Structure 1
Amino acid sequence: MTHEISGDFKTYSLAGTDQEVRFITSVLNLQPGSSILDLYCGYGRHAIELAKQGFDITGVDATQDFLDIAAQKAREAMVDIAFRRQDMRELDYNQQFAAVINMFAAFGYFTDDENVNVIKLIAKALKSRGLFLIDLLNRDWMVRNNLNRYWRHPSGEYVLSYKVELENGIATMKRQLLNQVTGAKIQYEFVLRAYSLPEMANIFTNSGLSIIATFGGFDGRAYSSETPRMIILARKND
């Protein structure tokens, strides 16, 4: 079965959240009202924009500070989103979502066995023939480049920055969330496993998922060893 992807990605010129959400909606190609799980939704910037477009959104994250920000922003945007604090290793959904999205290198925090089980839990959470969209750092590109990012909320209130260092397939992430109004700062460091495309394909196959498309960026460019991102669209086999 072929999954049709709507839109002409080459015409996309928007930056940041607008472009990312346009990409997400185009590759998923779901009808408004469809249920989507934003897994490790952070402070909700994708979840909120998707909810504005009429999707039934659930946002899960392990960090309460992020969820508090997300809930406040959702109230300001007047959208209804079910936010839930939960470790992705403990997902307990069963055939509930038409799609699951996992954005901005929010996978690979744990041991290989635990990471594999997370994918199996995601597959379990999907309805029959449901879609899984995951955005990863491209390990091949990271070997030759340094990926440091900086993001400012449109309100100017919050700034998120992170620095990535890669060695032997393990990426060290150093993040900082700064509230520019209050001066409050949250800093933390963690490591994640950076997987190659063949490794992810093997994990998906063993979890009942099939890859149907790969991209190298939110502008829809083709994935290659020269693209900084590895975005994979997969479908549940049954």
Structure 2
Amino acid sequence: MQKENITWYASWFDTPYYHILYKDRGYDEAEAFMKHLVEFLNLPENGTILDLACGKGRHSVFLNKMGYDVTGVDLSPNSIEHASQFANETLRFEVHDMCKPYPKQFDAVFNLFTSFGYFEHETDNLRTLKSIKAELNENGFGVIDFLNADYVIENLVEHEVKEVDGILFRLHRYVEDGFIYKDIRFEADGNEHHYTEKVKALTLKDFESYFTAAAIDLLAIFGDYSLGTFDKKTSTRLIMIFK
């Protein structure tokens, strides 16, 4: 039995199995979201974007194809190694801890698809927001795309079995101590594997408290990838624009 329990996101995100489980995420929806975002933000032509927690870089690559100068950073060396094959003069990738300020400022910093709230220590959430603020230039915008915790908890599917590439992933979701958990078990390569995803069930009110503490101004809130109105009972996402 292999039970990977270091910092869960450092270990799980750095495995090939994470990318297998989530390989069918909606690319069309994600690309449409990027288009809606940059149009709403009215970013300058050839503007600079920091893709914070970029994973294997698919959003960075798409933004770069749209004409933006993109830097993708992630804690996972394996993800950055994969993403680096797409690098060019206006697209680069680096291993970086998003709790710490990146040594450059940008027209926009994107933190997409629930890449926040993983930390064991509450202070790291605030450190990350302060880092994002430091990474924005004078006219820059920050974007956090987070799950809508109220909706997720209300509609939680506790047990699910998902087969991807011949691997049966047994998923168990639950809420405990203010966190939303996903317990993931599967057999692969002759071994049994067990990982646990854990994200703090942060609400809009929680983020507003963080923003106040970080001297961040919240400018707009949306509830889906089409930038529809946010409703805490029915919206699937909590998308916040700030500076």
Q: Tell whether the structures are fold-level matches, with TM greater than 0.5.
A: yes
User: Which of the pair has more CA radius of gyration?
Assistant: 2
Check if 1:124 corresponds to 2:150.
no
Contact 1:17 1:45 in 2 (8 A): no
Q: How much does 1:169 deviate?
A: 2.4
In 2, Cα distance between the equivalents of 1:25 and 1:162? 35
Query: Which residue pairs with 2:92 in the alignment?
Result: 82
Aligned residues: 208
User: Residue 79 of structure 2 corresponds to which residue in structure 1?
Assistant: 66
Match of 2:196 in 1: 189
Amino acid at match of 2:106: F
Aligned position for 1:202: 209
Which amino acid in structure 2 is aligned with residue 228 of structure 1? T
- Contact 2:221/2:239, CA 8 A, preserved across alignment: yes
The one of 170, 173, 182 equivalent to 2:179 is 170
Distance (whole Å) between structure 2 residues aligned to residue 187 and residue 83 of structure 1? 29
* Match of residue 10 from structure 1: none
SS at match of 1:48: helix
Unaligned runs of 5+ in 2: 1-26
- Displacement of 1:33 after TM fit? 1.3
Shift of 1:175: 6.8
Cα separation, partners in 2 of 1:25 and 1:163, compared to 1, 3 Å: farther
- Separation in 2 of the partners of 1:224 and 1:20? 18
Alignment CA distance shift 1:164-1:97 (3 Å)? farther
Q: Indicate conservation of the 8 Å contact 1:164/1:172, yes or no.
A: yes
Q: Which runs of 5+ in 1 are unaligned?
A: 1-13, 150-155, 177-181
Give the 3 Å change call, closer, same or farther, for CA 19–85 of structure 1 in structure 2: same
Pairwise CA distance, 1:204: 1.1
TM-score by length of 1: 0.75
| Kept after mapping to 2: 8 A contact 1:51/1:79 | no
Name the stretch that deviates more: 33-42 or 17-26: 17-26
Q: Distance in 2 between matches of 1:217 and 1:161?
A: 28
TM-score when scaled to structure 2?
0.74
Query: 1:63 and 1:145, CA in 2 relative to 1: closer, same or farther beyond 3 A?
Result: same
Distance in 2, Cα, partners of 1:161 & 1:123? 39
Q: What amino acid is the match of 2:220?
A: A
> 1:71 & 1:207 partners in 2: Cα distance?
32
Structure 2 match to 1:142:
152
- Check 1:82–1:15 CA distance in 2 against 1; reply closer, same or farther (3 A cut): closer
> 1:81: how far off?
1.4
Structure 2 distance, partners of 1:83, 1:117, is 22
Q: Return closer, same or farther for 1:122/1:174 CA change in 2, 3 Å cut-off.
A: farther
How do residues 23-62 of structure 1 correspond to structure 2 at under 5 angstroms? 23-62=36-75
Q: Confirm whether residue 221 of structure 1 aligns to residue 231 of structure 2.
A: no
Matches within 5 A, 1:93-112: 93-94=103-104, 96-110=105-119, 111-112=121-122
